[in-house]
Amino acid sequence: MIITVTLNPSVDRTVELAGPLQRGQVQRADRTRQDPGGKGVNISRALQLSGEHTLAVVPGDSQDPLLEGLDAAGVRYNAVSVGAPLRSNITVTEPDGTTTKINEPGPELDSNTVDRIIDQLIARGAGAQWLVLAGSVPPGPAPNIYAHITNRVRAALGSAAPRIAVDTSGQPLAEAVSETVESQPDLIKPNGEELAELLGRSDGETLESDPAAAASAARSLMERGVGAVLCTLGGHGAVLVSPDGAWHAVHAPVTVKSTVGAGDSALTGYLIAHVRGESPDSCLRQAVAHGSAAAALPGTQMPSIDNTTPQAVTVTAL
């Protein structure tokens, strides 16, 4: 089983326009849709669509639209009440794939709520294959919350603890891989810009377009103790650096409809391949296939593995 935790989930409303976004003007939407969202929620949705056992751990009160959306999607979840409605995010997509997002901050989580979420992870985590800590940190928890969860889960479960993947950005990611933390994640999934920021560099655009440079940057994180780095590079594919080597993978061109959730889908593809016993380069192949499939779907729809075309992915050792 793969457990995801999303501290700042959302109800994602997608508005698809028939033409380019015109600021300050009134436009009619071509179509709209609403999905339960947040990085970990997206990953659990995609896992469920592919027939993988998953559990989404989220804050949220009974009858919150997020939980209703998870029920409708058939995703199993454990919800910890917060006494406040969860946030809503708006995504506007244009015909050429340009995507504009407006994200609310989310309700504040107090220390008691965070402790109850961690208790859920400890209670359900023994024997799980992966625990995915994903998304932004809402008001309340300290920026080192993902490092704190990692330490708490590993201390409580010992050898029964799942592998831990972290998919976030900014200070929460920096804290999760700080050289001062007790234990490092088994996997992190930054994009090129986030990888550059994490290392205090200003060449994010270079890393996005130069797989060898991205792999070199990722290796410096492994020297700190990070288990592996899956770095997504947008239209340039993705790079995986692990103790077994480094690879770059790129998909044949697809028609992009929305980039929202493509990174979440890439991590999903990696996890599916990993739990099925695939080699690291095959895990990367499926990651890129999943990310590309998501980009070809409108809004925040998640692909199943049947929607992916790993045979269209070229993998090169670095």
State yes or no: pLDDT of 222 exceeds 90: yes
Burial tier of 72 (Cβ tally within 10 Å: 0-12, 13-18, 19+): exposed
Query: What pLDDT, on the 0 to 100 scale, is given for residue 111?
Result: 95
Categorise residue 97: left if φ over 0, alpha if ψ from -120 to 50, beta otherwise: left
d(CA 273, CA 284): 8
Query: What pLDDT, on the 0 to 100 scale, is given for residue 132?
Result: 98
Average pLDDT of the chain?
Answer: 94
- 228-263 residue pLDDT tens: 999 999 999 999 999 999 999 999 999 988 788 899
Query: What pLDDT, on the 0 to 100 scale, is given for residue 158?
Result: 96
| Domain 2-317 top-level CATH class | alpha beta
Does the pTM surpass 0.85? The reply is yes
**What residue ranges do the domains of the chain occupy?**
2-317
pLDDT class of 224 with cuts at 50, 70, 90: confident
Q: Which residues contact 306 (CB under 8 A, 6 or more apart)?
A: 50
Token pair in block for residue 196: 């550059």
- 163-205 residue pLDDT tens: 999 999 999 999 999 988 888 999 999 999 999 999 998 887 8
Query: What pLDDT, on the 0 to 100 scale, is given for residue 135?
Result: 96
pLDDT class of 98 with cuts at 50, 70, 90: confident
Which of the two residues, 218 and 207, has the higher pLDDT score?
218
Q: Which residues contact 115 (CB under 8 A, 6 or more apart)?
A: none
- 56-94 residue pLDDT tens: 999 999 999 999 999 999 999 999 999 999 999 998 988
